[in-house]
Each structure stands twice: as structure tokens, then as C-alpha cells.
A and B are shown apart, each in its own frame.
Chain A
Amino acid sequence: EVQLVESGGGLFQPGGSLRLSCAASGFTFSNFWMAWVRQAPGKGLEWVATINQDESEKYYMDSVKGRFTVSRDNGKNSLYLQMNSLRAEDTAVYYCVREHILYYVFDIWGRGTMVTISS
């Protein structure tokens, strides 16, 4: 079964750091672009970052550029999101998503991990 499982969420302080992880299974992880999408409580979906297969291309939404870093370990079938200089507005459910190999849409989603930034 194709599956993405996020971990690393919780309650964190403003200005702090955390790293989200996503474990992939059921497909050849190294063949796919991957991304993070977030959803603040009661709000809509917001694309955060995208990474290609060999980490040579990375793209970020403006509000996280310079604070967040997306990375991956193809040997461990894992995707990561390092989040620094945390702000209250980063509070959201963070979803790990797979981009379809041909159509570039988000075809597989994890269940998400909740990140709360509060003092």
C-alpha cells in the first residue's frame, strides 16, 4: 500500500525550531518529487515547499523562505522539513505529499502532523 506517515509535530515556542519527518512506503520514493502542504486551523490549504528527486531543486512559499528547509534521504525513504524562527502563523497541520510522476499534481497525501506555535 502506498503510504506517507508524518511525525514530529507538537507544541513549540515562537522563535524555536523543529524538524518534521515523513516516512514513505509502497512506492519507489527516489523517483518522485515531494512536497509539504499546510492547513491552519479552520483555513484552506497552503503549499509550503517542493523538492525534486536528487535535492537539486527546491522551491518555497515566500513566507517560509529562509526559515524552512526541505530535504530528503532516499536511502531511508524519508522527507524532512526543518522549520526555524517559528512564528504563531506557522501553526497548522503539515501534510507530506507526493507529486504524480507524470501529471505533477499531489496524488498521495499523508494524514498530517499538527504543529502549534505558542508561548
Chain B
Amino acid sequence: DIQMTQSPSTLSASVGDRVTITCRASQSVSNWLAWYQQKPGKAPKLLIYEASSLKTGVPSRFSGSASGTEFTLTISSLQPDDFATYYCQQYSTFWKTFGQGTKVEIK
């Protein structure tokens, strides 16, 4: 199975900060990489697919990029609604795997 490693596990930031979360795949997944946001007690929500395509309705402060097997989720200016846990997921094979998650906390 393809392993997905996210860093950091926890991130403390303030409203207005630029935030970057990294996800590394154990082998090539091309650009078959998605990002999800999950708030406590709620189901995850899709933010980005194909590494950099923003789902309709997702604020433009969210962006994704790719370089080889390393992927990045950036929030350009953190808003109160963005404090949550973020997961990457590869879907290059039928055995789709998630990263372990990055919790974005209020500093």
C-alpha cells in the first residue's frame, strides 16, 4: 500500500497567518491527491482534488500544490472557521490511503 505522511501533526497559528501543511507519498501518485477538512464531531469535507483543483464553493484562501511525491496545502490567511484537522488522501489506486492528519489549533 502507498503510505502518506503528513507534517506537522499539530500546528498552532493565529488568525491571519499563512499556514502550510505537507504530505509526502511513499511512491508516485501522480497528481491523484486530495485534501479534506474535518471539524470535531463532523464528517470530513473535500477541499482540493487532483493536487491543486479547488472544489466549487471552497474559499480561494485554500490552495494546493505538488512537487514529485510531496504535496502542500496552503491557507493564505487563516480564518476562525479554518481551525480543524486536515487530511491528505491519495487515490492513484483502488486502495486509497489517508495521511494521519494535521490539527490546526488556535495559538
Contacts and interface: CB of A to CB of B under 8 A. Distances in A.
Q: Is the interface of B mostly helix, strand, loop or mixed?
A: loop
Nearest to A108: B46
Contacts of B53: 103
Contacts, number: 53
B45 interface: yes
Interface size class for chain B? 20 to 34
Given A44-B101, A45-B101, A104 B32 contact: yes
A47 B46 contact: no
A95 interface: yes
Interface of B: 1, 32, 34, 36, 38, 42-46, 49-50, 53, 55, 87, 89, 91, 94-101
A34 to B, nearest CB: 13
Interface size class for chain A? 20 to 34
A91 to B, nearest CB: 17
B12 to A, nearest CB: 19
A100 B101 contact: no
Which of B42, B43, B46, B99 counts the most A-chain CB atoms under 10 A from its CB?
Answer: B43
B91 A104 contact: yes
